[in-house]
Amino acid sequence: MTFQELKPKVKEITSNSALSKDEKLLNICQLLNEEIDYYNWVGFYFANQETKTLHLGPYVGAATDHTVIPFGKGICGQVAVSNENFVVPDVAAQDNYIACSFTVKSEIVVPLFVNGKNIGQIDIDSHVLNPFTAADEEFLEFVNLEIAKLY
């Protein structure tokens, strides 16, 4: 399914009043994981500004020990500080990478803004080297704009 075909499905999930916020987030994770071949782990982290930590929210994929990540640590922690998308074509070449699994080859993290404030991020791991393009970034920014409406 193309990104254009997925957009209305994302909107359908976020506008479903029968679902809780966490159910909507989980359903989005499932949709992306099932419909995009190279999205092998899809999840959300949410920021705690007081403790400067990210906390794992709904996700789909292999279990992770990384349920709390300090700002600045790893790709997710760097995005919490930079407020910018981070695409890692090859995690083995990244100095500040927190290894989750030997199967992960690349990662993309896109911050989630609500009223101009970075409240978290969507994090995607892939078992493929360098699969992420500008189209992935644009699509995930769209996803996060839809999610931001829930807050």
Domain spans, the chain: 3-148
pLDDT digits (tens, 9 = 90+) for 14-51: 999 999 999 999 999 999 999 999 999 999 999 999 99
Q: Which of 35, 47, 42 is nearest to 7 (CA)?
A: 35
Q: What is the pTM (predicted TM-score) of this model?
A: 0.94
Helices 134-148 & 21-35, crossing angle to 10 degrees? 160
Amino acid present at 126:
S
3-state SS assignment for residue 126? strand
- Dihedral of alpha carbons 148, 112, 63, 89, sign: positive
pLDDT recorded at residue 110: 98
Percent of the chain whose predicted confidence (pLDDT) is above 90? 87
- Going by pLDDT thresholds of 50, 70 and 90, the confidence category of residue 98 is low
Structure tokens belonging to residue 26: 């989980």
Give the CA angle between residues 8, 11, 12 to the nearest 5°: 85
- For residue 140, pLDDT over 70 is answered with yes
| Vertex 118: Cα angle to 113 and 120 (nearest 5) | 90
Which of 3-7, 89-93, 103-107, 143-147 comes out lowest in average pLDDT?
89-93
Average pLDDT of the chain to the nearest whole number: 94
Q: CATH fold of 3-148, please?
A: Beta-Lactamase (3.30.450)
